[in-house]
Every structure is written in C-alpha cells, then in structure tokens.
Amino acid sequence: MKKSLLFAFALSVILFSCGGKTEENHEEHTMEHASGDASPASTSAVVSSAASSPIIDSYLAVKDALVSDNASEAASKSQALVSALKSFDISSTDAEDLEELERLQVEATAFAEKLGTEDIVAQRESFQALSVTLKDFLKIAGTDRTLYHQYCPMYKNNTGGMWLSANEDIKNPLFGSSMLTCGRVEETISMK
C-alpha cells in the first residue's frame, strides 16, 4: 500500500513538473505559446541557406529515432549526419565568422560520430551536446526552414537538455516514450 502511494506521488510530481501529459494541459501549453503573452520563447532570424539542408534533414532523422526509442535506427541515421557535416563547404557560405563556423563543424561532427553506438543513453547524451553545437552552427551558417530550440528541464538529473525540432509540438528525444511531451519551446530560429 505504501509503495503504491509513493509511486502515485512520484508520478504526479513528474507529470506536474513537465506540464503533464494530459490533453487538457497540452492544449493550455499550446494556447500560451501561440498567444506569445505567457511564453518566454525568443526569436532569432538567421540567413536563409539551402547549404545546411542535408545536415538539418539528417539531424531530424536521428531526433525522430531517439523520440521512438530506437537506438539502432539512431545509429544508422547518424552516418548520414556525419557525412553531411563533413561535406559541408564552409567557404561557399556568406557567414561572417568562418573560423568559428569551422570550429563548430568539427565539434558537431565529433558528437555526431558518437551517435553510432547502440547504447541509447550514450546516444542521448551525445545528441544533446550535438544539439547545442548545431544550434550555434546554424545561427552562423543559416537554415532553410524555421526550427524550434526546445528544452526539457528534467534531463540529466534536472540540469536540463535541449534539441532542435522542425515544429513546435514537443516530442522529447532525450527521454523518448518515458517522458515524450516534457519540454517547452525556448527559441524560434527563422530565416531573415
């Protein structure tokens, strides 16, 4: 009996801290974000560039595999991401800080290579680190679409973690099905 009560309490704390998984709470979150009044999300405008498309496409494929808790698919999809990062031609961009862009490219490639493991916990740690680096990379290199910087405060013992998504709906790759909707939009990255 005590274990059941303790479990129920722990579950309610988790659901409350992530905004819950109920349809009612999801609708409230969507309405708050859509209104712009209650949402702390900021907007960044970056240069429009199709050169980053293969990187973004591959990154989002890895993200979707992690959302689905599929470690082998994430490892498989990471090969295309590594290839896209390595083949990105920095000299063909209109970026102002080419040295920083090159540093971020090397760092992102190293994190993407670590996604090749079949250990989903290690993949998620590498993916979170990659996401931070890739966000900075895309702010310099540009993007071909609007992206949403999303953040889950409960990741890694409540230190938090972020990822990029092509839409505002929260599908958490850092927890997958165990906490699929935990998170919020922190920033919208759009084209100028």
* Residue 10 scores a pLDDT above 70: no
Whether the full predicted model's pTM is greater than 0.75, yes or no, is: yes
pLDDT in tens, 97-145: 999 999 999 999 999 999 999 999 999 999 999 999 999 999 999 999 9
Position 27 scores a pLDDT of 31
CA distance 37 to 174: 28
- The pLDDT, as a whole number, for residue 18 is 53
Stronger pLDDT, 53 or 28, i.e. the higher one = 53
Q: Write the CB contacts of 113 (distance below 8 Å, at least 6 apart in sequence).
A: 78, 82
Gyration radius of the chain's alpha carbons: 18
Of 40, 124, 140, 22, give the one whose Cα is nearest residue 78: 124
Banded pLDDT at 95 (limits 50, 70, 90): confident
Predicted pLDDT at 146: 97
Number of H helices, E strands in the chain: 7, 4
- What does the DSSP assignment read for 105-134? HHHHHHHHHGGGSS-HHHHHHHHHHHHHHH
Q: What are phi and psi of 180, to 5 degrees?
A: -55, -40
Residue 90: both structure tokens together: 């920095």
- Edge-to-edge, what's the strand order for the sheet holding 42-46? 42-46, 184-191, 147-152, 161-165
Average pLDDT score over the chain:
84
Q: Answer whether residue 15 shows pLDDT above 50.
A: no
